[in-house]
Amino acid sequence: MTRRFFGTDGIRGRTNATPMTAEMAMRVGMAAGRHFMRGDHRHRVVIGKDTRLSGYMIENALVAGFTSVGMDVVQFGPIPTPAVAMLAASMRADLGVMISASHNPYYDNGIKLFGPDGYKLSDADEARIEALMESDIPLAEPARIGRARRVEDGRGRYIHFVKSTFPPHLRLDGLKVALDCANGAAYNTAPATFWELGAELVTIGVDPNGTNINQECGSTAPQLLQETVVASGADIGIALDGDADRLIVVDETGAIVDGDQIMALIGTSWARRGMLRGGGVVATVMSNLGLERMLAREGIDLIRTKVGDRYVLEEMKARGCNVGGEQSGHMILSDYATTGDGTVAALQVLAALVESGKPASALLRQFEPVPQLLKNVRFAGGKPLEAESVKAVIAQAERELDGSGRLVIRPSGTEPVIRVMAEGDDGEQVKRVVERICAAVEQAAKAEA
């Protein structure tokens, strides 16, 4: 079934344009509330948000929708996405909602939904909610309309939980950490967590004003953090994104450490301590071949999925794995969380740093990445990947890379773009392969236009 509103990570778009309007948010609240009203108990939804100006509008519209169908609402204010997932489960809520567009600019916003178990909704649940949104939704009787209240200790509960994931015999005393919170949802919780564990902090991206979330800061723009780490003499830098479900690390030299290196560190350290379950680490097709080879040397499988943390989590659950993530910095450690949690993953990195006594540059360079190149080809319409000429070029490229590299070609799920990625031991060969495929796609797209 083709979904009209839900993408791979909830509903997202430019604010005050379909689907991110107040009217649509109210319909989401009505439909999701009705869908999760099961049994005779008083039903509850918990709502968190990041720091976008539009969060006020979307939150109030959602509250109107939920209360109109008889669901009580607990509002936490700005709080990370993984905090909403954790609190939905711990507070026995029927539903959790995070208002955020993650790493997107402030003028976008989104709605992420979590079930009572703290996991993102299944495709079936999202399809049912979409169907309800386009139907006549039964409203509550006047005496059964829901109540809304704000809870101020949500951040404190989350900080306490996150600190409990850090090894109890360790402290961060003597460690200087540069922390970039992207002017987003973790601007309050992440600094408090690291400071309470003993770290000396240099903070940036902790002054949200409603329009500066992810603006030249955070995990998708780590240049400022790189400069701050070097200028301040920090031992390590941690960059979260707008809703704090992903992270990027910067070592003491200012070099960026991506999600693949973080997965390698956590996966191998957990394996040596007997903590790794499922026999492998789950990542997407975009993770570097160097990660796969390094894990294989340690007797650990790399299990690949489609792009998207929801697919990573589905595979982790199916195989019983407890470590997974994406090259972009989503880290899912299912012993602790039901979704990506940048702060929890950062604490695992810091624990390894403290225990090793090594500088971050030595510890976090777990493998040498093979050359990897990704290019996007925009097209006006049609299906260029189905053209025989494109298929022939792709087949030739696969033969060339056989045994020494990989090829990943996929259409974007949100825009008319074909993503062409190749990697291999020979960087020049990788470049030639990508350029040939992109040229073939462009030519086929013009012929179909």
- Which residues participate in catalysis according to the annotation? 102
Name the strands in the sheet holding 176-180, side by side, starting at the edge strand that comes first in the sequence.
Answer: 200-204, 176-180, 236-240, 247-251, 256-257
Instruction: List C-alpha distances in Å: 41 to 38, 44, 144, 201.
Output: 8, 9, 12, 45
- Distance of alpha carbon 61 from alpha carbon 42, whole angstroms: 21
10 Å CB burial of residue 113 (0-12, 13-18, 19+) is buried
Kindly give, in sequence order, each residue whose CB lies less than 8 Å from that of residue 204, ignoring residues fewer than 6 positions away: 178, 179, 180, 181, 217, 224, 225, 228
CB–CB of 239/247 below 8 Å? yes
Element (H, E) at 257: strand 256-257
Side chain identity at 135, as an amino acid letter? Answer: S
Q: Are strands 148-150 and 176-180 parallel, antiparallel or unpaired?
A: unpaired
In 15-172, DSSP assigns E strands to 44-49, 72-78, 95-99, 108-114, 148-150
Q: Which residues pair with 406 in a beta bridge?
A: 423
CB crowding 282-291: b at 16 or more within 10 Å, else e: bbbbbbbbbb
- Distance of alpha carbon 342 from alpha carbon 337, whole angstroms: 11
Tell me which residue of 64, 69, 39 sits closest to 145, measured CA to CA: 69
- Say which residue the tokens 């470049």 belong to: 431
CB–CB of 56/109 below 8 Å? no
In 297-416, DSSP assigns E strands to 301-305, 323-325, 331-333, 372-378, 405-411
Kindly give, in sequence order, each residue whose CB lies less than 8 Å from that of residue 134, ignoring residues fewer than 6 positions away: none
